[in-house]
Structure 1
Amino acid sequence: MQQRSDVIVVGAGPTGLLLAGELAVQGVRVTVLERLAEPDPTIKSGSINVASAEILDRRGLLPAAEEIQRRRMAAAGRFTAGGGTAVTRGLVGAFEDSAPRFPVMGHFAGIMFRNDLVDQADPVLASHTAVAGGIAVPQYDLELLLAERCARLGVVVRRGVTVQGVRGDILGDGDGDGGHGDGAVIVDTDAGEWSADWVVAADGGRSAIRKQLGVEFIGTAPELVGYQAIADFDATGLAHGWNWTPTGVYAYGPVAGRILVARFGAQPEDRDAPVTLAELQEAVREVTGTNVTLKGIQGRATRWSDNARRVGRYRHGRVLFAGDAAHVHSPFSAQGLNLGFGDAVNLGWKLAATIQGWAPAGLLDTYHAERAPIADWVLDWTRAQVALMRGDERTRQLRAVVGDELFAVPGATNRMVALSSGIMQHYDVADDAAAPVGSIVGDVLLTSGRRLADFAHDGRFVLIDRSADGRFADAVRLLDDRIVHVADPTAEPDRPSLLVRPDGIVIWAAHAADEPAEATKRFATARLRWVGTH
């Protein structure tokens, strides 16, 4: 029997590694089991959204992400210098501007978001500009970055281990004893047994644990098949960026050789079979309408679909699901990685609190209550894009209306960019709460010149106390292991005091004009609901 951990995370993708780090920073013993012997260099997501970049920022990882982006933008700049579209060149140029701007990247159904149509004065966007230099981070580099963090935090990552299933005290709730009962969840692998008080399945869309447990996976069947690769070929005749055709959609760039195609039709008989050069070439020719000849593939090509499903419940006793193990959908707008990131930061501190015994009643069950609606929204968001990609004449007409008319309106473009970036996520964290309560905190600059994110590196709640007398300090004095108190006195009416959860969600706010007793009462309610008692 292997040494027992507090938590075993199955899967060392971005979700699993981020979650492992979130648990470890809280003092939880974590083991990660991963089937692959090395991080997979196969081209997948090419960037993260603003909400995910802000997660990195709050954990002190933004400088490393910015360095990755600088290298990638330099490569993209060389690629586009000789013939890239104005949209692509504008994207590269936007990151070279020293002025704080909301990063505009991405598309909806292959219709690119245009920088020149985004109103940067929009207060929603303007409050999320600090991470603009760290969103163009490919998945492979992100996994390396998160693996380095795990190593610093003492997380045990065992690669080359295939998980076959789980057994033991799976249905014990563990809520009352921190999960440290007599039973344990046993993880069977091809390298022996591991045991833990809790297991998180972050083992991908074909999760072995989800299938073994028979967990409900609800959704819709696929309509299209997609491919992505970096290939060697003459790209003459291919347009850069996203393009719609009567047979599907394709994207070329932002680095030389990167090709993505998606076409409607029958699914392959064996989805697990490696993508051959001939299969990829046939798909590229059909969708692009060119007679392109592929000479080779760098690394491995990937095959995917728009299968859109999520688990009926994110928690099965002492087994929880996160990332693609909890939900799958098409990769359009790169929502999958970011959805998994949100799972990881939402679950991490809640599971740690449960293990350590200070979690308020029902805290762990709020993981499903908060994340399932977000997943449902993302699944619908991706389904809508697939509907707008179909090759019939009416879809072409609808694309013209959406792309040429609707997206030409700055207000509409702003809304779509904000939604795609993840910053519009909202949770029901308080009764009758007004904004910004329930929302992602965004950029908070303090009078000292520091930022709220600077105080969130260790995963505690952050209290920004802007009262003149620091009246909220006493309320958290005995909770300094869970809450960091930051005095930032100001009477400016638009700069409220804030209590922010470890996942960046505002759970309490008070303005200078608020009646002190009422503000204090609301603070006590928020603290008891989310932070617990002494």
Structure 2
Amino acid sequence: MKAQDQSTYDVIISGAGPVGLFLACELALAKCSVLILEKAEAPNTPLKQLPFGIRGLSAPTIEALYRRGLLEQLEVHKRIKNPHLHAKEGAQRQVGHFAGIPFLEGNVDTSQWEYRLPGSPATSLISEMQELETVFARRAESLGVEIKRGLAITGFQQNADEVTVEAGHQSFKAKWLVGCDGSRSVVRKLGGFEFAGTEPEFTGYTTRIDIADPEKLKPGRNVTERGMYMQSQPGYVVIQDFDGGAFHSSDKPITLEHVQEVLRRVSGTDVTINALHTATTWTDRARQATTYRNGKILLAGDAAHIHSPLGGQGLNLGLGDAMNLGWKLAATIREEAPEGLLDSYYTERYPIGTQVLDWSRAQVAIMKPDPGARALNAVIRDLINTRDGATYFAGRVWGIHTHYRLNGNHPLTGHSVPNFEFEDGSAIGELMHDGKGILLDFDGNDSLKTFATEYSSQISYISGSAKEQLGLSALLIRPDGIIAWASDKSFDLNGLEEAAARWFVINSKSI
């Protein structure tokens, strides 16, 4: 007999990884009750720690954390540096790569990013999975989120009003269920979502090993005629074996003998492994849910899309989902959502996911061990070594150009708001900790102040001149930091009214 939790939560989230935890923070910030169910008993595993768990955070992720006051809590990037990005004395520093082809700091022309102001957060930072989960869990719990570990979801039923979730020998109810439970998502499978895409080209191995003769392996990332291997630190080796994903799909154990055979074949050496401490496999399978919602069920993160970890964009993509979905779902729950608001989660995030999947596929295409791929690799290498080429690849890898196609005449509409710095030293990102929208008025226009009072429960009115205003007079900023409307000196009140009605509700009730 199942024990039933009598509470009805606003949202149950499956999965206490970074995406599930960050989404919970966004919902709880908007006064929603949230329960997270996580199948793992403990939050920390060896694969989440350095160097296995190392992740590069892109500009949209860094901006999101900054706007919620979480960026300052990250410490890993302050005490470590990615060994792949180190340069020998006198050489340019590598700041990223595409399919293992590095782009260099000195070649990236940041002046091409005209809306990125001085004082903006970094374009990329190093963190680790364990650190992110610790920071997000601490924040979630401080906001009242319940986290129950060791409870895997085994089933659920939904009707027009709620979802009943079964986990272990317990039953829970919520108005909404969100699957943030990874690439093998139970919520996605039981929820009837189609997961369309392409099959893998390779099996990837992430290992910690003792090597008898490490000098036989070159440091860093090495693309060979048979695949790729990367030695980041002594004993930590990543391998790509272009076997069509066969080993990853098999039930065979990852043995020392197998890893040694693959490493020797891919590296073209007779390197010897003395001990295998930790190993996991992965592939470049690229799939995406054809919809992110089925009734009261939603998907985010790897539950909605999977791809090769090349370039490290999976975590950033998932956190972007959470930032986009959180305020929209909260407004829906609080009955403060205009028609179609929640549907915009899919219409905005699906194209971003598609772009990332294609970016991953493109990298795999030029890493394959065949003459055609090597020819393409050489062309990309030439392009990436140019100033415009390096700037383009950096902009894509760091998410500088990520935006949504929103209605509006100004070119900034749909983009992340620049980090305007005011005369008193404060910056717009520091004023977004409460998760509300903002009507930013540089000119102190009384009609804008009056307009903002009609949306006071969802929009804060901020007035004051900035050190650099980019020729703007006013902006409407969504809770996720996206510009919904912008106007230069020729004031566009009709455009503001249309944008506000698209994202907010007049005289919305306060809960």
Same fold (TM over 0.5): yes
2:63 maps to 54
Structure with the larger strand share: 2
> Where do 4+ consecutive residues of structure 1 move more than 4 Å?
87-91, 269-274, 490-493
List aligned pairs for 1:174-185, cutoff 5 A.
181=161, 184-185=162-163
Mapping 1:272-351, distance limit 5 Å: 275-298=254-277, 300-351=278-329
**Residue 321 of structure 1, CA deviation:** 0.5
SS in 1 for 2:111: coil
Q: In 1, Cα distance between the equivalents of 2:122 and 2:317?
A: 19
Aligned twin of 2:19 = 15
Q: Does 1:150 align with 2:129?
A: no
Change (3 A) 1:333 1:163: same
Q: Show the counterpart of 1:237.
A: 216
Is residue 2:72 matched to residue 1:63? yes
Aligned match of 1:97: none
Distance between the aligned counterparts of 1:280 and 1:351, measured in 2? 45
Question: Which deviates more from structure 2 when the two are superposed, residues 441-450 or residues 271-280?
Answer: 271-280
Q: Deviations over 1:346-376 (max 9, x none)?
A: 1000000000001000100111111111111
Aligned-pair CA distance for 1:45 = 4.6
Whole-angstrom distance in 1 between the partners of 2:481 and 2:467: 24
- Say yes or no: does 1:121 pair with 2:111: yes
| Cα deviation 1:283-337 (Å, max 9, x = unaligned) | 2222222233333445x42211111111111000000000000001100111111
1:435 to 2:411 alignment: yes
Q: Among residues 358, 362, 377, which one is paired with 1:384 in the alignment?
A: 362
CA RMSD after TM alignment: 2.4
Give the whole-Å Cα distance in 2 for the aligned partners of 1:447 and 1:459. 23
Equivalent pair of 1:468/1:491 in contact (CA under 8 Å):
no
Match of 2:206 in 1: 228
Whole-angstrom CA distance in 1 between matches of 2:157 and 2:399: 36
Letter in structure 2 aligned against 1:287: V
- Cα deviation, residue 441, structure 1: 1.8
Residue 125 of structure 1 and its aligned partner are, at CA, apart by 7.8
Q: Any gaps of 5 or more consecutive residues in structure 1?
A: 92-103, 173-180
Q: Distance in 2 between matches of 1:227 and 1:394?
A: 24
Q: SS of 2:263's equivalent?
A: helix
User: What TM-score results when the alignment is normalised by the length of structure 2?
Assistant: 0.91
How many residue pairs end up in the alignment?
495
- 1:473 is paired with a residue whose SS is helix
Q: Conserved in 2, the CA contact under 8 Å of 1:468 and 1:490?
A: no
- Paired residue type of 1:283: V
Q: Is the 8 A contact 1:204 1:324 kept in 2?
A: yes
Q: Which residue is 1:448 aligned to?
A: 424
Instruction: Give 1:313's aligned amino acid.
Output: T
Query: Residue 46 of structure 2 aligns with which residue?
Result: 41
Checking the alignment, whether the CA contact within 8 Å between 1:10 and 1:32 is kept in structure 2 is yes
What is the CA deviation profile of residues 93-138 of structure 1, one whole-angstrom value per residue up to 9, with x for unaligned ones?
xxxxxxxxxxx73211111121121113223484486322871111
Q: State how 1:356-375 maps to structure 2 within 5 Å.
A: 356-375=334-353
- Return closer, same or farther for 1:495/1:147 CA change in 2, 3 Å cut-off: farther
Tell me, in whole angstroms, the C-alpha distance in 2 between the residues paired with 1:420 and 1:277: 34
Q: Relative to 1, partners in 2 of residues 1:124 and 1:144: Cα closer, same or farther, differing over 3 Å?
A: farther
Structure 1 residues 143 and 528, CA, compared in 2 at 3 Å: closer, same or farther? same
Kept in 2: contact 1:54–1:442 (CA 8 A): no
Q: Which amino acid aligns with 1:472?
A: L
Q: What is the CA distance between 1:450 and its match in structure 2?
A: 1.1
Distance 1:240 1:269, change over 3 A: closer
**Contact kept? 1:85, 1:241, Cα under 8 Å:** no
Residue aligning to 1:352:
330
Distance (Å, rounded) in 2 between the aligned partners of 1:113 and 1:90: 10
Q: CA 1:150–1:508 in structure 2 vs 1: closer, same or farther (change >3 Å)?
A: same
Deviates more, 1:226-235 or 1:328-337: 226-235
Specify the alignment match of 1:502 in structure 2. Answer: 479
**Paired residue for 1:411?**
388
Aligned to 2:230: 251
Alpha-carbon distance change, 274 to 203 in structure 1, aligned in 2, over 3 angstroms: farther
Q: C-alpha separation between the residues in 2 aligned to 1:117 and 1:58? A: 29
Task: State which of 102, 123, 126 in structure 2 corresponds to 1:136.
Answer: 126
Q: Does 1:110 align with 2:108?
A: no
Amino acid at match of 2:269: T
Change (3 A) 1:87 1:283: farther
Q: Distance in 2 between matches of 1:277 and 1:131?
A: 43
Q: What is the identity, as a one-letter code, of the residue corresponding to 2:113?
A: P
2:34 aligned residue (30, 33, 37) = 30
CA gap of 1:31–1:489, structure 2 versus 1, over 3 A, is same
- C-alpha distance in structure 1 between counterparts of 2:403 and 2:41, whole Å: 38
Shift of the alpha carbon at 1:190?
1.3
Q: Measure, in 2, the Cα distance between the counterparts of 1:306 and 1:452.
A: 39
Closer/same/farther in 2, CA of residues 269 and 244 from structure 1, 3 Å limit: closer
User: How far apart in 2 are the matches of 1:492 and 1:129?
Assistant: 11
Could you tell me which runs of 5 or more consecutive residues in structure 2 were left unpaired when the two chains were aligned: none
Distance in 2 of aligned mates of 1:146 and 1:341 = 11
Between the aligned partners of 1:306 and 1:291, the Cα distance in structure 2 is: 27
